Amino acid sequence: MSIQSVVARRQSADRDSAFARDVIDGLTARPKRLSPKYFYDETGSRLFEEITALPEYYPTRCELAILGAHAPDMARLLPPKTALIEFGSGSSKKARLMLDAAPSIAAYVPVDISSTWLTAEAARLRRDYPRLAVLPVAADFTRPFQLPPSLAALGLAGFFPGSTIGNFEAHQACAFLQHAARILGQDAILIVGIDLVKDPQDAHRRL
């Protein structure tokens, strides 16, 4: 579909949808942009998983190795009864390393926009961790959302791996961190996985 026809559609019934506005504003901006949150329906989530297995896609491999070596150290920083809240949980592969290392985690709250995928992952987690409360939240993590009320008695630890924070512009990353602080509250911990800035030439050589 051409951008002209998308713009023309703005006149039609869906002109007020946030998606229509983001597409029109983003694709008519210079440089063009579109939030990665729109990549992720069930097919997008499956494709992302396939991408993480490619030799060129090092972040997942590196982070799994870091967590494999250091999750027990991170676990020691968590309060005795903790809820781990993952912003953009995907396959929850990295959360599983935290769960394995931290018996103090009593509840896991995967938050993801890809709701069908999220429901299927939650079922697998419940099967594999029968003593854990698995409380999925289908939500856009850049917007206000409610945590399950049953977490009230637990300490909270946010988990934001995958360098997903790198998908934001700097001002959006700041806004997200403020938003996460509001959701998690004052005494919470936040574990964020951030990739370093790469030399573009180096990134090019990897392809």
* Contacting residues toward ligand SAH, per CB under 6 A: 36-37, 40, 45, 48, 60, 86, 88-90, 93-94, 112-114, 140-142, 161-162, 164
CB of residue 37 to ligand SAH, shortest distance in Å: 4
Please state, in angstroms and rounded to a whole number, the distance separating the CA atoms of residues 82 and 90. 21
CB of residue 205 to ligand SAH, shortest distance in Å: 24
Q: Give the three-class secondary structure for 191.
A: strand
Residue 9 CA to its chain's centroid (Å): 31
CB of residue 143 to ligand SAH, shortest distance in Å: 8
User: Of 8 and 34, which has the nearer Cβ to ligand SAH?
Assistant: 34
User: Of 70 and 81, which has the nearer Cβ to ligand SAH?
Assistant: 70
Which residue is closest to ligand SAH by CB?
88
Q: Give the three-class secondary structure for 159.
A: strand
Q: Give the three-class secondary structure for 134.
A: strand
Question: Which helix (H) or strand (E) is 70 found in, with range?
Answer: helix 58-76
User: Of 38 and 81, which has the nearer Cβ to ligand SAH?
Assistant: 38
User: Of 39 and 129, which has the nearer Cβ to ligand SAH?
Assistant: 39
Contacts of residue 144, Cβ cutoff 8 Å, sequence gap at least 6: 179, 183
Q: CA torsion sign, 76 to 82 to 86 to 91?
A: positive
CB of residue 43 to ligand SAH, shortest distance in Å: 11
Alpha-helical runs (H) found in 10-57: 18-27, 42-52
User: Of 94 and 107, which has the nearer Cβ to ligand SAH?
Assistant: 94
CB of residue 98 to ligand SAH, shortest distance in Å: 11
